[in-house]
Amino acid sequence: MKTAGRMNRRQSTLIFLVCAAGVLAVVMIMGIALEDAALETDFSRTNLAPCPEYLFGTDWMGRDMFVRTLAGLSLSIRIGILTAAVSAVMALLLGTAAAMLGSRADAVISWVIDLVMGIPHILLVMLISIACGRGFAGVVAGVSLSHWPSLARVIRGEVLQLKQAPYILAAEKLGASRIANVRRHMIPHLLPQFLTGTILLFPHAILHEASVTFLGFGLSSEQPAIGVILSESMQYLTTGRWWLALFPGLCLVAVVILFALLGERARMLLDPSSVHE
Amino acid sequence: MVKRWIALLLSAAAACALTVGCQSSGSRGINAGESKTGENSSGAAESSEADNSVVIAMDPNSEPAAGFDPAYGWGAGEHVHEPLIQSTLTVTNTDLTIGYDLATDYSVSEDGLTWTVTIRDDVKFTDGEPLTASDVAFTYNTVKESSSVNDFTMLDLAEAEDDTTVVFHMNRPFSIWPYTMAVVGIVPEHAYDSATYGANPIGSGRYILKQWDRGQQVILEANPDYYGEAPQMEQVTILFMEEDASFLAAQAGQVDLAYTSAAYSDQTIDGYELASYATVDNRGFNLPAVPESTDEKGRTVGNDFTSDVLVRRAINIGVDRQEMIDNVLNGYGTPAYSICDQLPWYNEASEVEYNPEEAAELLDEAGWIMGDDGVREKDGVKAEMNLLYSTGDSVRQALAADFANQMGELGIACTIEGVGWDTAYDRALSEPLLWGWGAHTPMELYNIYHTIEGTGSAQYSPYSNETVDSYMDQALASSDLEESYSLWQQAQWDGTTGVTQDGDIPWIWLVNVDHLYWVRDNLKVAEQKIHPHGHGWSIVNNVDQWSWE
């Protein structure tokens, strides 16, 4: 029995979810608002160590690293959202199609999934990014078009399994139409897997966006992106400007962890087997 | 306490970076470095002096991709320098006039179409064969055939008249041919195979290539049979490393001379001094001088804002070059007013004073009136420029950013954008791009200002002026090098027209970037001639004259 004063696990998880989503939303919105400020250079304040005025210090062109980091994280989160959306739609369509449209469609789609998964992620992101003309569009296309296969595979597996489930077979025998079957019996079962999978795409997408810009295949160097910030800061580590890499790096890790926890907690809430714990 | 922690953290980071740096520069190079450090502990100066060798850290981009073959850009490529392994006919002196290496005399016919050069008869290649005029002729004909990096279209044919006389037949007069002769290394006709020569060069120069580990290092050894003064440095090891690795290598005492940049200039390294050498390694923007249109290839050519000559003049005097040098280069640079500052063909009329008031008046006169938001306007069009720079070059990025800030004060709104060289050339036809130039030949003036036949415009940025063209044509046709200098100067400004402030000013020049090096305290680097563009082999042009004190 829980005492009246303490929240149960479900409540605390819900509160955590709201807080985490709130933090990420605030970072994203602040980043958008500060985009112009992040490009601003001021040579009267170069190479300042972190101080109350510039929390993360400034770089060799006098750019405020705090603002730049926020703008970079915001960009990462937006790319993450876009990637997750594109991947989720593709995964849902292809996954269900593979499972529902018969063995030939299944073979084709499974082959495509294997093909895309067979190419190392970072390489694929780079290839698509270059093919799409680099820059912002290139990175977005590269990251969002390369992350769907794993989710698609999960969905396909689930749907295949569900098709053989006794209650679905029973519903079919009772004359429920295919559409009604999918809507009433399958989607409620798929939803937790699907949502969790989608949220867990974020950390991947963000890390890949950061690495591809770090390697110089993405945004050009005046853009505020975490990868760009980190690759620039490498040059200055030897001269002792640790703040250029440390804070943006920590923030990136924090955002990624936040998303991962978000996905984990969301799963706990949505998954029937753990929802009442 | 906090400080101590930071120091600890930093030293850990430095140690990590150091190991990375070492790995990247390869085992052999580091062995050499380590043994040197070992010796240093017992007395740095003595050991170095004893073996008369020097270890130099150079930018990885300096490593010649196609090897040490003059036909594929060694010495005579994008960045010119003395080929060291091979001899050249002439050399450029420290004041950039012409001196002799292999040549004993040269002359040019009245029409400028025939150059006759006599050469020394006592020169041997390192395989023992004598170097004759036919080797020279062979070299030039080969270079003309195969050089993809340098323009040799003015040469028709080189032929050996006898063992010591070589004659160059030209397609068109080219008065600055001696400057070309200063960078083309002579290869042996009997031992030249274009497939293997780059990796196993045989020459007659001051040094022999002893070892080349691609991506890591080059070891040069003094040529014992050298015809000139014997090199004082008997062994020169060049390690190719990135800027941060170069800094750490100096910090660890593994190199005697390490290239560095302004970003490191506020650091100090025990036992090393920061040496700064003057350059014509300039940076400047092209300002497209014609209104915007689309050419037959579908490219945008021209820029409506910069096509107004008053705007270009306002920009030229509205930029504070010294502020840029202080802000971006930490003071290590000089203001640039032309592509060829301080060279014999430089016209001092290029120099301008910073004058923001006059710049503002010029913009007003041109009809660009200050708007309420601090940005000038003309007929509803905003005064805007998108400044391009090559992405990944932090110095150019910072210069572009500082320039943008300064233009903002004048009421010109600027954005900056990093671009790759794959698209930069096309985009520079309509937008200002931050370029780097500077070479020991007046041909650069021709390359950027002279109209290309058939297109009606100069190569890199739309611009054309018949008078300027004709001075440069005359300069090339001149039979006297000294006289041609004054024609090159007139091409820049002849009193009524030209490419300077009072002329068309189709390019504005900002700064010459000093080349910076960490030099071990007792190493005496010989006097440098003004360095050209490219922070690479220029420094070792006279490594044979360096010494340990």
Q: Which domain holds residue A198?
A: 2-40+56-276
pLDDT at position B5 is: 55
Q: CB distance A242–B401 less than 8 Å?
A: no
- From chain B, the residues in CB contact with A237 under 8 A are 13, 17, 244
- From chain B, the residues in CB contact with A46 under 8 A are 327
B282-512 CATH: 3.10.105.10
Q: Is the pLDDT of residue A121 over 90?
A: no
**Contact pairs from chain A to chain B, CB under 8 Å:** 61
Which of helix, strand or coil describes residue A8?
coil
pLDDT at position B47 is: 39
Q: Is A46 within a domain?
A: no
CA distance B393 to B281: 14
Output the tens digit of pLDDT for each of chain B's 549 residues: 445 555 545 555 544 444 444 443 333 333 444 444 434 433 333 334 447 899 999 999 899 988 999 988 898 777 788 999 999 999 998 888 899 999 999 999 988 899 999 999 999 999 999 999 999 999 999 999 887 677 888 999 999 999 999 999 999 999 999 999 999 999 999 999 989 999 999 999 999 999 999 999 999 999 999 999 999 999 999 999 998 899 999 999 999 999 999 888 888 999 999 999 999 999 999 999 999 999 888 899 999 999 999 999 999 999 999 999 999 999 999 999 999 998 999 999 999 999 999 999 999 999 999 999 999 999 989 999 999 999 888 899 999 999 999 999 999 999 999 988 888 999 999 999 999 999 888 999 999 999 998 888 999 999 999 999 999 999 998 888 888 999 999 999 999 999 999 999 999 999 999 999 999 999 999 999 899 998 889 999 999 999 998
Q: CB distance A222–B248 less than 8 Å?
A: no
Q: CB distance B263–A220 less than 8 Å?
A: no
- How close, in Å, is residue A4 to chain B by CA atoms? 45
Pick from B6, B267, B405: CB nearest A239:
B267
* pLDDT tier at A185, thresholds 50, 70, 90: confident
pLDDT at position B26 is: 37
pLDDT at position A277 is: 61
Catalogue the E-assigned strands of B281-332: 282-286, 293-294, 300-301
Pick from B328, B398, B419: CB nearest A220:
B419
The residue extents of the domains of chain B are 1-29+46-62+214-279+514-549, 64-197, 282-512
pLDDT at position B20 is: 42
φ/ψ of residue B527, rounded to 5: -55, 130
B6 touches chain A (CB under 8 A): yes
**Same fold across B64-197 and B282-512:** no
Mean pLDDT, rounded, of chain A: 86
> Domain B1-29+46-62+214-279+514-549 belongs to what architecture?
3-Layer(aba) Sandwich (3.40)
pLDDT at position A168 is: 86
Give, in words, the CATH class of B64-197. alpha beta
Q: Is A45 within a domain?
A: no
Minimum CA–CA partner of A235 in chain B? B244
Number of domains in chain A: 1
Q: Is the pLDDT of residue A274 over 80?
A: no
A133 φψ region: left (φ > 0), alpha (ψ -120 to 50), beta (else): left
Q: CB distance A46–B327 less than 8 Å?
A: yes
Q: What is the mean pLDDT of residues A165-185?
A: 85
- How close, in Å, is residue B265 to chain A by CA atoms? 10
Q: Is A126 within a domain?
A: yes
Q: Is A86 within a domain?
A: yes
Q: Is A49 within a domain?
A: no
Identify which of B330, B508, B370 has the alpha carbon closest to the alpha carbon of residue B433.
B508
Best residue in A36, A46, A48, A61 for a mutation probing chain B (most B CBs within 10 Å): A61
B402 touches chain A (CB under 8 A): yes
Q: Is A124 within a domain?
A: yes
Q: Is A27 within a domain?
A: yes
Say if strands B98-100 and B90-92 run parallel, antiparallel, or are unpaired. antiparallel
Minimum CA–CA partner of B262 in chain A? A60
Which of helix, strand or coil describes residue B442?
coil
Which of helix, strand or coil describes residue B279?
strand
- From chain A, the residues in CB contact with B244 under 8 A are 234-235, 237-238
- How close, in Å, is residue A251 to chain B by CA atoms? 19
Question: Which whole-number Å values give the CA distances from A231 to A214, A235, A244, B240, B391, in the listed order?
Answer: 5, 8, 10, 20, 12
Identify which of B36, B32, B55, B57 has the alpha carbon closest to the alpha carbon of residue B47.
B36
Write out the residues of chain A at the interface with chain B, using a CB-CB cutoff of 8 A.
41-43, 46, 60-61, 134, 216, 220-222, 232, 234-240, 242
pLDDT at position B356 is: 94
CATH code of A170's domain: 1.10.3720.10
Which DSSP symbol is given to B299?
-
Identify which of B23, B16, B269 has the alpha carbon closest to the alpha carbon of residue A237.
B16
CA distance A131 to B224: 54
The pTM assigned to this predicted structure is: 0.84
Q: Which helix (H) or strand (E) holds B437?
A: strand B434-437
pLDDT at position B434 is: 96
Best residue in B323, B405, B518 for a mutation probing chain A (most A CBs within 10 Å): B405
pLDDT at position B475 is: 93
Q: CB distance B401–A61 less than 8 Å?
A: yes
Pick from A41, A216, A242: CB nearest B401:
A41
> For residue A220, what are its two tokens?
């050009």
CB neighbour list of residue B404: distance below 8 Å, 6 or more residues apart? A41, B387, B414, B415, B416
Say if strands B384-390 and B413-419 run parallel, antiparallel, or are unpaired. parallel
CB neighbour list of residue A177: distance below 8 Å, 6 or more residues apart? none
